[in-house]
Structure 1
Amino acid sequence: MILIDRFLSDEQDPKAVEKVLGKLNDMLTTNEELIYLAVQKKPAVNLLPDCIAVSNKRIFYCEPANFGITMNFKDISWKTIKEVSFKEELFGSKFICVPQHGENIITEYIPKVQARKLYQAAYEQLESFREQQQLAEQADRRAQQQGTVSNLQAGTEDIPFIDITPSDSPAKDAVSFVTEIPSVAAVPPAPIEEPEDETTLKLRKLKTLYDKQLITQEEYEAKKADILDSF
């Protein structure tokens, strides 16, 4: 069961959060965890707000239907997302998800604080997915290169030595011929890139958020100190 209190830290609508979490709890897969949930806040009537939830595997879009009796859910996995962003406006912010294919998904009237944290959570998960994907691709390339070297080395084995002695010449005048074996240059395996440790990765992501002016210098320094203290 998902605890509701951790998703009410930024003045999210408690009724909307409770309703959405009740549905999402049955939709999460093995080892999937919700990280952040933002609730739309319209400037006039906000009876049926949309919600956006970020997990470590995907983004959920939750839209009430039939006057709030039912709810429509749409999820997008990280491998199909190109980028995420947000734009602050007079009434809240727009959260923008750019898929690899198709039109952008734009949700308006997200409170500014929630939009910033929603973007931060989504950005970190997207970057984490890409890093894992790169490591997997590097491992595949190393395996393919090692397989190529093994095949080349195996091809040089069991090449016979040929000794040809003309039948009309004495044994002492025998002429031996040796076939020339072309040299095979071994293909060195690609250097193994060691992944960054967790502390370095957190500091780099924190600096990226600061450079994009998504957090203030005070927030940056405070978070940086927390990360270094936990090292």
Structure 2
Amino acid sequence: MNFELFAIDGQDIKIIEKLVVKLQDMMTDGEHIDYIAVQKKPAVTILPDSITISNKRIFMCEFTKLGLATDFEIFSWKDIKDIAFKEEIFGSKVTVIPFTGENLSIDYIPKIQARKLYQLIKGALETSKLKEIALEKEKFIVTTPPIQPAPTFEIHQPVEEEVVQNNSVIEPVKEAIREPIIIPAIVESPAPKIEEDDDEITLKLRKLKSLFDKQLITQAEYENKKNEILSQI
């Protein structure tokens, strides 16, 4: 793997190599690393903390026990409420805000890396939210119930018939002749099937994400175009 891809904003390449080796063992199918931000304190830090984001999750890493152990706090995008950062004299303090539990922060993140983290995490959260909205729409699709045949009723009407005998008219004899008359029952038409298609913005975002996943566009092109689409909301 070309580790230099994750050291384009001044990250320590040695720390990048150690992190990527550990993270590769935790990647799931279809998951890949998008960006790694590495802590840089004013004093020399042998094993700094870091924040890694993939296309599925965010990893907050802290080396402990002189590098013999590593503590990871891992969140999927649906578990994260928001991201915030504060620029200070030496770098920035980046804070991840989950829906449940305490906020987690890492300070002394170089400012350029903190801004890139904020941009990428915000974009990932917006994409995750749009996916949830699309799933909610699918739940409201109403399936059309099968049409039941209308019941029928038979009505028998008596018919008068004259009986003639020896050329004389005998009083009419009423005889019930079964002549069924079919009257369809009034049945309310079933509710039409309701299908809500994705709106235009959602379709554009899906198409844009597909182009990015296929590596037909760069990360910067993806983010710029996505922000342009979202500004139309």
The range that moved more, 107-116 or 10-19, is: 10-19
Name the residue aligned to 2:48. 49
Q: 1: distance between equivalents of 2:107 and 2:24?
A: 25
Corresponding residue for residue 8 of structure 1 = 7
CA RMSD between the two structures: 2.8
**What is aligned with 2:105?**
106
Q: Residue 165 of structure 1: which of 134, 156, 162 is its match? A: 156
- The count of residues paired between Structure 1 and Structure 2 equals 200
Q: Which residue of 2 aligns with 1:116?
A: 115
Distance 1:66 1:187, change over 3 A: same
Identity within the alignment, %: 37
C-alpha deviation, 1:66, in angstroms: 0.7
Q: Which amino acid aligns with 1:137?
A: E
Between 132-141 and 111-120, the greater mean CA deviation after superposition: 132-141
Unaligned runs of 5+ in 2: 160-173, 209-220
Aligned to 1:139: 138
The equivalent residue for 1:34 is 33
Q: Which has the higher helix share?
A: 1
Q: Do structure 1's residue 189 and structure 2's residue 166 form an aligned pair?
A: no
- How big is the shift at 1:191? 3.4
**TM-score (normalised: structure 1):** 0.75
Q: Distance in 2 between matches of 1:96 and 1:88?
A: 12
- Pairwise CA distance, 1:101: 0.9
CA apart distance, 1:167: 6.4
| Structure with a larger share of its residues in strand | 2
Query: Judging changes above 3 Å, is the alpha-carbon distance between structure 1 residues 5 and 200 closer, same or farther for their aligned structure 2 residues?
Result: closer
Using the TM superposition, give the Cα deviation of residue 179 of structure 1 relative to its aligned residue in structure 2, in angstroms: 5.8
Indicate whether 1:66 and 2:44 are aligned: no
Is this contact kept in 1: 2:39–2:110, CA < 8 A?
Answer: yes
Decide whether aligned partners of structure 1 residues 138 and 201 sit closer, same or farther in structure 2, where only a CA change above 3 A counts.
Answer: farther
Q: Would the aligned equivalents of 2:82 and 2:97 in 1 still touch at CA under 8 Å?
A: yes
Q: Deviations over 1:178-204 (max 9, x none)?
A: 363232252341331241142898434
Quote the residue 1:227 is aligned against: none
Deviates more, 1:187-196 or 1:124-133: 187-196
Q: Distance in 1 between matches of 2:228 and 2:69?
A: 39
Runs of 4+ displaced beyond 3 Å: 166-180, 199-202, 206-209
In the TM superposition, what are the counterparts of 1:146-157 in structure 2 within 5 Å? Answer: 147=143, 149=144, 151=145, 154=146, 156-157=147-148
Aligned residue in 2 for 1:213: none
Contact 2:79/2:99, CA 8 A, preserved across alignment: yes
Cα distance 1:134–1:207, how it changes in 2: closer, same or farther (>3 A)? closer
